Structure 1
Amino acid sequence: MPVDAKLYYVLIASPGDVKEEREIIREEIHRWNSIHTRNMKIILQSVGWETDATPDLKERGQAVINRQLVDTCDMLIGAFWTRLGTPTPEAESGTVEEIERAAKEGKRCIVYFSDKEISLSGIDYKQYERLQEYKQVLNKRGLTNNYKTLEEFRERVFRHITMAVQDIVREEIERRSAEKEAKITEQAIGLSVQSVQTFQNVDISFESLADAQVSVKKLLESKFGIQDMEDTKEKEIAKIQTVLNSPELASLFNQQPTTESISAITQIIETATTPSMYALAAVGKYGNDSSSDWLEIVGDWVERLSTRKLESGYSWVSYIKTYPGLLLLYALGISALRANNINFLREVTERQIYVREYDSEFSLLSLIHPAYVFYNDTSKLIEPGFSRNYTPVSDHLNTLIKNLLYPNEEQSRYLDCFDLFEFLISLKGIQVCNDYAYFGSFTWRNDTTRFIIKSIQSAALRQGKYGIAISDLMNGEINLINTAKKYDEFAEKIRWDFGRSAPNYVSLLIQLAKEGKKVSSYRELINILDRKS
C-alpha cells in the first residue's frame, strides 16, 4: 500500500579513505527507513557526490556539489580517518567546505572521526596534521563523535540519525506554529483579506464525547486544524503527566499495591485520560487516516503516554504509569476499526519506540501489554472475581470503554467489536513483536466466537467491511497468512487455566475460506476437523 511520506535528503561527506564508512551510512539509512518510514511517514534518501552530482563546466566542481547537494540536503553525515581532503579555494578541503556550508545554513551536521589503528608508513603526514587541526576546531563547537570499530560506527550512526530526525520533526512543527501565528497576526492587523479559521474561532473541547466529535469535525475543516490539534494534544498530554506525577498518586505509589490502592490509582488515571480518550475515539471515527499529519498526531499521542521510564521505588510504578497509553490504544483502536479507518490502528500498533534508558527500540504494543502495565500480577487487583477467567484488565476495560464511548449501544454488538479488536491486537502483537500476543476476554467469551470466525474468513477473501480492514491491518494476504501460522503455533504452546483457550485455528479458517468453505461456528470447525481426521 502506498505511503504518504516526507522525503529528507542526507548528504554523506568524507574524503576518499573512508569508503566502508560511506557504505555503512547508506546501509543504516536504509535500515532506518525499513523500521520507521511507515510509522513516521518519513523517508531518508542518502546522497553523495559520486552518485548524485551532475557535471557542470560552468563553475568549479565543489561549487556544483554545493549547489546540487549541500544546499538541498536536510542533514549531513561526515566521516574522517587519516585524510582531510583536497583543498578548495574556499576551505581546507571539499569535505570541510560541505560541512561548514551546511552548518552555516543551520542544518544537522553529524561528524565522526575514526580512532581505528593506522599504519604510520601508509599515511600522508601533512593530511593527518591538517585533519587533527580541523578536529580541534570542531571539538570546540561540539560537532564530533569518535569511534574505534566499524560496528561501533554503525550503531552510532543509526542512533544519531534517529535523534536527528526527531529534532528535525520538532523544528518543523515549531516552524509551522510560528507561520500560523504570523498569519493570525496579519489577519488581526488587517494585512490579510482572506478569511482563515484558526484555534481562536474553533471552540475545541474534549470534556464529553459529543464535544470531542464536534471539535474534531471542525478541526478537519479548519485551515489550521492540524496545528490546532497538535497544540491541543500537547496540552492534554501535559495534563495527564501532571496527574501521574501528582502528590496524590505519589502517596499511593509509595506502598505495596492492594485492591484499594490499585482501584484508586486506576480511577485517578482514567479520569485524567478520559478527555484524550474522547478525542482519539472521535479521530478514529471521523479523522482522515490517509493524512500523514493526522496519523502522526495519534501515533505520537499514544506513544508519549506509553513510554516507560525507569524510576526508583517499587518496580510496578513505572509500568502502571503507561496505563494512559493502553487506554488510548483501546479508545482509538475500537473506534477506528468500527469506522474502517484502519490506518490509525496500524499506525499505533506498528510504532517502534526508542527508549533511552535501555538504548534500544521496543514495539509500542510490547510496552503497553497489560501484563506489563499491571506488572507483578497487580492486574488481579483491578477487577474483583478475576479467578473465573483471569482476564481482569480486559474485563475492566470492556466495561470502562462501553460506559464512556458506547453507553447506548446494544451489548451483543458492542462485545463483538470489543472482542474482535482484542483478537486483532493479539494477532498484530505476534506480527510485530513475535511473542507479545495479548489474550483478552475473547479467549473465553463464546458469544463472540462466531463474529471473530466470520471476520477471519472475510479477511482471507478480503471481503466486507471488517475483512478488508483486517487485511489492511495485517498488510495484505501474505502477511496475514504468515502471521496466522505464527499465532497458531504460539497459541498451541500456551498453558491455559480457568477454562480459557486462544484460537489456534486461524490458519485453518483462512485455508477453508480460500477453498470456498464457510465456517459459521467453532462447533462446525470441529466437525470439519473430525471429518478430515
Structure 2
Amino acid sequence: MSYLATTFNVMIASPGDVASERAIARDVVYEWNAVNSSSRKIVLLPIGWETHSSPEMGLPAQAIINKQVLSKCDLLVGIFWTRIGTPTEDHLSGTVEEIEKHIGQGKPAMLYFSSQPVAMEMVDLDQIQRLKTFKESCRTQGIYEGYDSHSEFKDKFYRHLQLKVNEHPLFFSNVGDAQFEHELIESIVKIPRISTESRILLKEASQDASGIIIHAHYIGGAAIQTNGKNMIASNERREIAKWESALGEGRSEWECQKFCV
C-alpha cells in the first residue's frame, strides 16, 4: 500500500579507509526505513559524493560536492579510522569541511572514530596526526562515539539513529507537511468530474425560474427540459443516452421532476 512520507537525506561523510563502515551505515538506514517508515511517514535516504555527485567544472572539487550533495543533507554521519583525507583550502580535509559547514548551519551531525587495530606499514603518520588534531577539537564541540569493530559500529549506529530520529526536532518539523499534502490531494481527488453536457445542463437549470429540470419519456423518444429549452436535440438513442447520463451525473445538484407519457 502506498503512502506519503517526508524524505530526509542522510549524508555519509568519511575518508577512503572506511568503505566497510559506509556500506554498514547505508544498510542501517535501509533497515530503519523497513521497520519505521510506514508508521512514522518518514523516509531516510543515504547520500554521498560517490552516488549523488556528477561531473562539473569551474569550481574546486570540494566546492562542487558541497553544492551538489552537502547542501541537500539533513543529517550527517562522519566516520574516521586512520585517515582524515585530503586538505582543502580552508579545512583539514574535505570530510572535515563537510562536517563543519553542516554543523555551522545548525544541522545535526553524528561522528564516529574507529579504534580497530591496523598494520603500521599501512599508516600515514601525517594523516594520523591531523586526525588526532581534529578529534581533539571535537571534544569541545559535542559528543562523538568510538567503536572497536564493524559489528559494534553497526549496533551503536542503529541505536543512535533510532534516538536521533525519535528525539531531534528536525524529524518532526516538516513531517506535518506531508500529511497536509496528503489531505489536500485526497480532497482534490474527491472533486467529481462531470461531462460538458452535465455542465451545460447545470448552467441552464441555474437560470430556470423555478430551478427545475423536467425529464419526460414518451412514445418514440424523451425530453429533458429546463429554462425553456429541450436539451435533447433528436430522438436518436445516442443523443438521448448522452443527456440522460448528464442528468444522472448532476442529479444531486438540482431538483428534477420526471414524467412518463
User: How many angstroms does 1:172 deviate by?
Assistant: 5.8
Q: Which residue number in structure 2 is paired with residue 165 of structure 1?
A: 165
User: Is the alpha carbon distance of 1:60 and 1:83 closer, same or farther for their aligned partners in structure 2, counting shifts above 3 Å?
Assistant: same
Alpha carbons of structure 1 residues 34 and 173: separation in structure 2 relative to 1, 3 Å: closer
User: 1:33: how far off?
Assistant: 0.3
Write the distance in 1 (CA, Å) between the matches of 2:173 and 2:65: 30
Match of 1:9 in 2: 9
Contact 1:109 / 1:143 at 8 angstroms: preserved in 2? no
State the match for 2:106 in structure 1: 106
Q: Deviations over 1:190-244 (max 9, x none)?
A: xxxxxxxxxxxxxxxxxxxxxxxxxxxxxxxxxxxx79xxxxxxxxxxxxxxxxx
What is the correspondence of 1:63-462 to structure 2 with a 5 Å cutoff? 63-168=63-168, 170-171=169-170, 173=172
What are the ranges of 5 or more consecutive residues in structure 2 without an aligned counterpart?
184-261
Task: Tell me, yes or no, if the aligned pair for 1:114 and 1:146 is still in contact at 8 Å.
Answer: yes
> Which residue number corresponds to residue 394 of structure 1?
none
Structure number with the higher helix fraction is 1
2:54 maps to what in 1? Answer: 54
Matches within 5 A, 1:14-33: 14-33=14-33
Distance in structure 1 (CA, Å) of the matches to 2:161 and 2:172 = 18
- 1:119-138 per-residue CA deviation (whole Å, 9 max, x = no partner) reads 11210011001101100101
> Could you tell me which amino acid in structure 1 is paired with residue 33 of structure 2?
N
The answer (yes or no) to whether the contact 1:5–1:42 under 8 Å persists in 2 is yes
Q: TM-score, normalised by structure 2?
A: 0.65
Q: Which stretches in structure 1 are left out of the alignment for 5+ residues?
A: 177-225, 228-287, 292-533
Distance 1:125 1:147, change over 3 A: same
* SS at 1:141 equivalent: coil
Corresponding residue for residue 211 of structure 2: none
Amino-acid identity (%): 37
TM-score, scaled to structure 1: 0.33
> CA–CA distance in 2 between the matches of 1:45 and 1:175?
15
Higher relative contact order by CA 8 Å / sep ≥ 6: 1 or 2?
A: 2
What code does the residue aligned with 2:53 have?
A
- Please report how far the alpha carbon of residue 14 of structure 1 lies from its aligned counterpart in structure 2 after TM superposition: 0.2
Count of aligned pairs = 182
Residue equivalent to 1:352: none
Indicate the RMSD between aligned Cα atoms, in angstroms.
2.3
Supply the distance in 2 between the matched residues of 1:48 and 1:140 (Cα, whole angstroms).
27
Partners of 1:20 and 1:173 lie apart in 2 by 31
Give the match's secondary structure for 2:138: helix
Corresponding residue of 1:36: 36
Question: Following the alignment from structure 2 to structure 1, what is the Cα–Cα distance between the partners of residues 146 and 78?
Answer: 12
Q: CA deviation at 1:167?
A: 3.2
Query: By how many angstroms is 1:166 displaced?
Result: 2.1
1:13 partner amino acid: A
Counterpart AA for 1:23: A
